[in-house]
Amino acid sequence: MQMARSKYIITLIIGCLVCSCNQDDETVALDTSLAALVAANTIEIDNVIACASGSANDQNTIIAYVYPRPGTTDIRYYETSDSNADKNDYTEYQRIAIEPTDFFNGYLKKFNRTTTDEKWVIITFFEDGKLQLSNPIRLKHKSKPTEFTDAVTVTNSMTTMPFFMWENGIFTDNAIYFQIVSDASEELLSGTYTFEKEFQYYILDNVVLNITRETPPALDTNVPYNFTLMGVSEDNWVNLFIEKQFSLVP
């Protein structure tokens, strides 16, 4: 009788352990799809500035860039399994648990992701209690590798307001151009978008989107500055990436 009672207790313990393991498995198997996140939140689409480029050093690395407006939280990276997925179907996107790092000292953020396959990517963050989603970004690091160059003309048409001009590179399907002027410590001074292949610091006549938060300072002569440009296609892939150091000559 005592032995039967002991066997019953052991069976109970084993049963509890099995149930506990099953519960842990269910906890681990959380739904990491973008669809699950969207279903649980109020969303806004087309309200996140984001794009992606290849890497100058590794053909299997992509870099996704995002502008996190002040006050945004929980920036996430989602991708499809391949480029044949329906870019507008959120069930196709799964979260990749990589943390964003600073770009231009945190004014922008970036995700470095190693992948041999081209995919669709969506970047999300929370702002004012709403889930904000970027437009789908088409990775093209295999079919259209980003061209890295320093080919930009800098003209000091006015001493503290240089004029920048550039041309398309290998790929000509750029829909918009993102310009950043920064100082030697990589602090972003101005961030602007134009449809035209030219920009004058800090003249906004042809600027169609401006992420500069404060009026930038006048540039000093004989001081090094940096000009960075991204030529971006309609599906948010960076075809052209220009970086050039310059200084104003009195």
pLDDT, tens digit (0-9, with 9 covering 90-100), for 107-159: 999 999 999 999 999 999 999 999 999 999 999 999 999 999 999 999 987 77
Distance of CA 197 to the CA centre of its chain: 23
According to DSSP, the residues that pair with 124 across neighbouring strands are 76, 133
Report whether 238 contacts 231 (CB < 8 A).
yes
Confidence of residue 2 (pLDDT cuts 50, 70, 90): very low
pLDDT, tens digit (0-9, with 9 covering 90-100), for 190-241: 999 999 999 999 999 999 999 999 999 999 999 999 999 999 999 999 999 9
Distance of CA 50 to the CA centre of its chain: 5
Helix (H/G/I), strand (E/B), else coil: 71: coil
| Total-model pTM | 0.88
What is the C-alpha separation between 50 and 75, in angstroms, rounded? 12
Give pLDDT, residue 27.
39
Tokens, residue 227:
């000009």
Give burial (CB, 10 Å; 0-12/13-18/19+) of 33.
Answer: middle
Instruction: Residue 197: count other Cβ atoms within 10 Å of its Cβ.
Output: 16
